[in-house]
Amino acid sequence: MRLQLDFINQSTFSISSWSLAGLAVLLTSVVMAILTWQLYEGRVLEQSAVAFKVSQMSRQIAHEKPQIQMVKSEISSEQMQQIQVTIGALIIPWGELLQGIEKSDMQDIALLSLEPNSKKQLVSIVGEAKNLQVALDYIQKLEAQPMLDKVYLQKYNIDEAHPFKPVKFTLSAQWLLSE
C-alpha cells in the first residue's frame, strides 16, 4: 500500500467559483456607481437650468422700471378723523406699559384682564391673588414701575366657596404716557 500525503488543503469551494462571485459583485458595484453618477449629473444639470432661469428673471425685473400711478382723491373730514385716531393709537407706547406690567409679575398673581385707556391715561387691571396681602404687594410692585402712578385697589372679593379662598381684585392706575 502506498502512502499518499496531501499537504494542500482543498476546500469544497473551488477558486473559480469564488472568482465568479467576486466578479459579479464587482460588476454590480460598477453598474450602481455609473447609475448614481448619472443621477447626480442630471440633478446638477437641473439645478444649473433653474439657476439660469432665476438669473434671467432677476435681470429682467431689474431692467423693468416699475410704473407708479398717482391717484388723487379727496378725503372727507370724517375719514381724516378716523385716520388721526388710528395713527394716535399706533404711536402710543403699548410696549412700555406691557413690559412694566410683565416686570411686576408675581408667582401668586394671575391677571385676568388689562384695559388701557390712552385718552384718560388710565389702566384697569383685574386679577386674582392667593390672598389679600399678595394683592397689596402686587400694587406696590406696580407703583415702582416708571410708567404707572397712583395705583389703587378699587375693589376686591374673597372667594369663600373655594378651598384656598383666593382674592379677586380690580386695580386702577394712572398711565404716564411718554411723549
Side-chain half-sphere CA neighbours of 36 within 13 A? 6
Tell me the pLDDT tens digit for each residue of 11-41. Answer: 555 555 567 778 888 899 999 999 999 999 9
Q: Which pLDDT score is estimated for 7?
A: 65
Q: What's this model's pTM, rounded to 2 decimal places?
A: 0.52
Q: Which pLDDT score is estimated for 40?
A: 94
Q: Please report the DSSP string for the chain in residue order.
A: -------SPPPSS-HHHHHHHHHHHHHHHHHHHHHHHHHHHHHHHHHHHHHHHHHHHHHHHHHSPPP---------HHHHHHHHHHHHHHSS-HHHHHHHHHHT--TTEEEEEEEEETTTTEEEEEEEESSHHHHHHHHHHHHTSTTEEEEEEEEEEE-TTSTT--EEEEEEEEE----
Tell me the pLDDT tens digit for each residue of 49-76. Answer: 999 999 888 888 777 766 777 777 788 8
How would residue 86 be classed by pLDDT, with cut points 50, 70 and 90? confident
What sign results for the dihedral spanned by CA atoms 109, 99, 143, 147?
A: negative
How would residue 100 be classed by pLDDT, with cut points 50, 70 and 90? confident
Q: Which pLDDT score is estimated for 30?
A: 94
Q: Using CA atoms, how far apart are residues 132 and 8, in angstroms rounded to an integer? A: 100
Tell me the pLDDT tens digit for each residue of 112-167. Answer: 998 988 788 899 999 999 998 999 999 999 999 888 899 999 999 988 888 888 99
Q: Which pLDDT score is estimated for 106?
A: 84
Q: Which pLDDT score is estimated for 73?
A: 79
Residues near 143 by beta carbon (within 8 Å), at least 6 away in sequence: 149, 150, 151, 173
Q: Using CA atoms, how far apart are residues 167 and 156, in angstroms rounded to an integer? A: 7
